[in-house]
Structure 1
Amino acid sequence: MSDLLSIGASGVRANQAALAVVSENIANAGVSGYSRRTVTTKEIVSVSGTTGATSGHGVFVTGVSRAADQFKAAAVRSAGADLARTEAGGVWMDRIQSALTGSGLDTRLTSFFNAAKAVAADPTATAPRAAMLEQARSLAASFTSTGAALANATTELDATADQAAADLNSLSAALAKVNEGLGRAGPGTAGAANLADQRDDLLEKMSAIVDVSASFDAAGRATVRAGAGAGQVLVSGNQVGTVSYARNAEGAVAFAVTNGKDVSVLTPNGGALGGVVDGAQRIADARVELGEMASAFVEGVNDVQAGGRTLDGTPGEPLFAVGAAPTDISLAMTDPRGIAAASAGEGTRGNGNLAALEAVRTSGKFEGTLTGMVADNAAAIQARGMVADAQAAIRGSAITARDTISGVDLDSEAVDLLRFQQAYQASSRVISIARDTFQTLLDIR
């Protein structure tokens, strides 16, 4: 009779624990990072010493099992890192496009050369000369504005990279704390399951910043490496590496991981840091190309000025001046009469020197170069957008595959809830019958 009571009591306890877990699953359905739990039980069995026969005495709860597949979780992280790199790099390509087109540099280049043609048509008229000087002033301001926009993009990229590195360091520190908690938590406990959820959520957030790989020990503690090749250790147990960012004068960026006294180069292959590397290179290339074009333009125009004669018959002075950067261009002339339209030996009505300016326009290909830069960057943006769409689909499929295993299905939970309620009631009924039977036997005596 005592066996019947113990069997019923063990069933009540087991089903009560199962009901609690199902309730937790239902309450956390749709919560990001939550993995479905189930109760694991084991039968209580005794073996007869004389006959070897076994008999059951109920069940006991061995722990809480967490539904998860680390391979599918790793696939989500990998797909997320690829998508984050593409999207982050696209941000800086958009900034380049805005910088190249925002100040109207292309139209002002054309307007400047067209104004020079107007002066050539009537070299002695003051109005066309004044208009050309005004177009030169606008063009200089446009060069300066475009260069400043690219410089600002570089500054913002530095701030973004610094913040991303700081966020990654914070996530690494949080993961080390979770590792520490997993080392103390008993295996198969609800606490260990909660910590494992936090661990996987942190790993997914880290993968959005940099490509990471993770390995796990028996307690579920993660060792995390980041970057190309074997990667650099970011987290091992409760030890944390610190990520730092730097950029040289040429625009090349670098990341490093410091573990104690050891400093290692981190080469991101994914995540926002990978996008920073891509964006930094593109911005640097755009600044170099624009700077070279600006230098060639100023040099060509000023050389034409030096080879001609002003309306007063004096040698031409520079039309433009350059500051610290090649694109820091300003107007160096204030008197329209100083435009050197005539060639040496021509009279004041000559315009031969402006033909040399048109030759500089043709040979320098300034407008074509700028158009090519804008078109190439636009094509790269479009291509990257298509890649991002494909990567988003891949990541979505990976998330679906992961959530098929770890996600909560409310229909299944509702079935389990009904099943465990009925099992709980049946176990309670066993206890009630055993008690009544025991009382009947006592009454007979």
Structure 2
Amino acid sequence: MSDMLSIGLSSLKAYQTALTTVSENIASAGTAGYSRRTTDIREVVAPAGITTGTAQGMGVVARGLTRAADVYKTAEVRTATADLARTEAGATWLQRVEESLTGNKLGDRLTGFFNSAKAVAADPASLAPRAAMLEAASSIASSFAATGTALDGAMEDLDKSAEAAATQLNSLARSLGRVNAGLGRQQEGTSGQAALLDERDRLLEQMSAITDVSVTTDTSGRAIVRVGGVAGPVLVQGENTGAITYQRSDEGLVAYTLHFQGEGSPVFPNGGVLAGFAEGAERIAGALDEVNKLATAFAEGINTVQAAGEDLDGTAGAPMFAAGDPAYKLTLMLDDPRGIAAAAPGKGIRDNGNLAGLEALRGSGRFEDTIASVTSANAAALSARRSVAEAQTAMRDSAVSERAAATGVNVDEEAVDLIRFQQAYQASSRVIQIARDTLNSILEIR
């Protein structure tokens, strides 16, 4: 009779644990990163040396929790996350370049300036078209300055974003180090261990959005994390964590350095926003370099044409523009419409021969074509990035769905288990009740 009570009691405890686990699964079904748990219920093993039939039917016991996990599908999600984050980050800075190049209408201002010179050529002695040409020249200077300033602003924002991302990655690494420490103290098969493993995977997925991570785990589930590929330097090992720093040269070359246990190692991210920032910095620096070169060539070319002619007072033309430092800070030096050198030397105020040099410069300098080419190339790259991002979004969504199918909570299945374990729990309660009633009946007979 005591065996019957023992069997009923062990079953009651086991299925109570199972019911708790199922209830937790259902309650956490919508929680991001939560992996399904199952209770490991096993038959009570007879003590060593007992071989008689009386050792049979000793009940069941809950041996612990089993957390659903699929290391391959989880790794696929991290890889897809890193690829998508890199592409989206790159597209963000390409968009900033496009806004800088088109928002200040530099191409239109260049066209307007050269067209205004044609109006002066039509009536060289008139002050009105000359004033209009100087106004167009002022717009050119402002447009160059605004375009360069916008690109510089984009680079400053990129620097801040990259530094913030590195700081966030370092914070996640420290959090993972604490999780590793907790895993080292947890008993296997406990709810606490399962929760820490969920948190570990959540942190790793967040880290993969910042940079590509290579992850290995020990027998306790503690993660060893390398950045920049399987051969990259270690960022997290047990409770020990490193820190990544960001630097950028004037040429737009980005350098990441990982500091771990007193040593610094270069990091070359292949995924995540850190890789996207590196690409973006090169794009911005390239566009800024083109604008500076264009500003320098434009100012020098216009000033050369000015110097070759005479103004309305019959004197050699003075410089119209001065390139700044950086060159895009173009300054309009000429403020008197009479100073435009339209005439060839000695030809008089009604001559427009020197303006032919301006039209020739327009063709040879290809200023309008250059800015249009830079803008078109950037737009094509941006369009390509967006197309890739769409494909990578679909790939990541698929990877997340496959992982969820393997490790997530299916509420319908959990509802079935809930009913099953409830029935088993009630049956166990009934066994105890019957054993008690039987024992009472025996005692009453005596």
Q: Which residue of 2 aligns with 1:346?
A: 347
TM-score after normalising by structure 2: 0.98
Q: Does the 8 A contact of 1:78 with 1:211 survive in 2? A: yes
2:22 aligned with 1:5? no
CA distance in 2, matches of 1:332, 1:303: 14
Q: Which secondary structure does the structure 2 equivalent of 1:342 belong to?
A: coil
CA, structure 1 residues 49+237, in 2 after alignment: closer, same or farther (shift >3 Å)?
closer
Counterpart residue number, 1:269: 270
- Which residue identity lines up with residue 146 of structure 1 in the other structure? T
2:322 is paired with a residue whose SS is strand
Structure 1 partner of 2:26: 26
- How far residue 135 of structure 1 moved from its aligned partner, in angstroms, is 0.3
Instruction: Note the C-alpha offset of 1:373.
Output: 1.2
Matched residue type, 2:274: L
Q: 4+ residue stretches of structure 1 with deviation over 3 A?
A: 47-54
Q: CA deviation at 1:103?
A: 0.8
Q: Summarize the alignment of residues 64-75 of structure 1 with structure 2, pairs less than 5 Å apart.
A: 64-75=65-76
The answer to whether structure 1 residue 249 and structure 2 residue 250 are counterparts is yes
Matches within 5 A, 1:166-315: 166-228=167-229, 230-315=231-316
Shift of 1:367: 0.6
- Measured in 1, the distance between the counterparts of 2:155 and 2:392 equals 27
Cα-to-partner distance string for 1:388-433 (whole Å, 9 max, x where unaligned): 0100010011001100011111111110110000000000111111
Aligned twin of 1:45: 45
CA contact (8 A) 1:47 1:55 kept: no
In 2, the alpha carbon distance for the partners of 1:23 and 1:33 equals 17
CA offset at residue 48 of structure 1?
8.2
Identical pairs, percent = 56
> Aligned partners of 1:361, 1:141: CA distance in 2, in Å?
19
Find the residue that maps to 1:130 and give its secondary structure.
Answer: helix
Match of 2:371 in 1: 370
- The CA distance in 1 between the partners of 2:2 and 2:413, in whole Å, is 35
Q: Which amino acid is the alignment partner of residue 215 of structure 1?
A: T
Offset from partner CA, 1:118-162 (integer Å, 9 cap, x none): 111111100010000010001100000000000000000000000
Q: Specify the SS of the correspondent of 1:194.
A: helix
| Matches of 2:263 and 2:443, distance apart in 1 | 78
Gapped runs of 5+ residues in structure 1?
A: none
- SS of 2:46's equivalent? strand
Change (3 A) 1:250 1:48: closer
Instruction: Tell whether 2:382 aligns with 1:418.
Output: no
The 5 Å alignment of 1:78-93 reads 78-93=79-94
**How far did 1:341 drift?**
0.6
Amino acid at match of 2:24: E
Equivalent AA in structure 1 for residue 2 of structure 2: S
Kindly indicate whether the alpha-carbon contact (under 8 Å) linking 1:140 and 1:331 is maintained by their aligned counterparts in 2. Answer: yes
Using the alignment, how far apart are the partners of 1:127 and 1:159 within structure 2? 48
Conserved? CA contact 1:45–1:56, under 8 Å? no
Q: Match for residue 358 of structure 1?
A: 359
Give me the whole-angstrom Cα distance separating, in 1, the residues matched to 2:51 and 2:266: 69
Q: Does 1:444 align with 2:445?
A: yes
What residue in structure 1 maps to residue 146 of structure 2? 145
Contact 2:321/2:331 (8 A) holds in 1 = yes
CA contact (8 A) 2:148 2:288 kept: yes
Change (3 A) 1:304 1:118: same
- Stretch of structure 1 that moved more, 179-188 or 44-53: 44-53
User: Could you give the per-residue CA deviations for residues 3-59 of structure 1, whole angstroms, max 9, x where no partner exists?
Assistant: 111111010000000000111011111110111111012211226847565513111
Aligned residues: 445
Residue matched to 1:110: 111
* Aligned residues: CA RMSD: 1.2
SS of the aligned residue for 1:214 comes to strand
Q: CA deviation at 1:260?
A: 2.2
> Shift in Å at residue 61 of structure 1?
1.2
Deviation digits for residues 213-245 of structure 1 (CA, Å, limit 9, x no counterpart): 111111110001111451121110000110000
Is residue 9–residue 432 contact of structure 2 (8 Å, CA) maintained in 1?
yes
Q: In structure 2, the residue corresponding to 1:57 is in which secondary structure?
A: coil
Structure 2, unpaired ranges of 5+: none
**2:17 alignment partner in structure 1:** 17
Please give the alpha-carbon distance, in whole angstroms, between the structure 2 residues aligned to 1:407 and 1:319: 70
User: How far apart in 1 are the matches of 2:202 and 2:109?
Assistant: 52
What amino acid sits opposite 1:46 in the alignment?
Answer: A
Structure 2 equivalent of residue 319 of structure 1: 320
Distance 1:348 1:429, change over 3 A: same
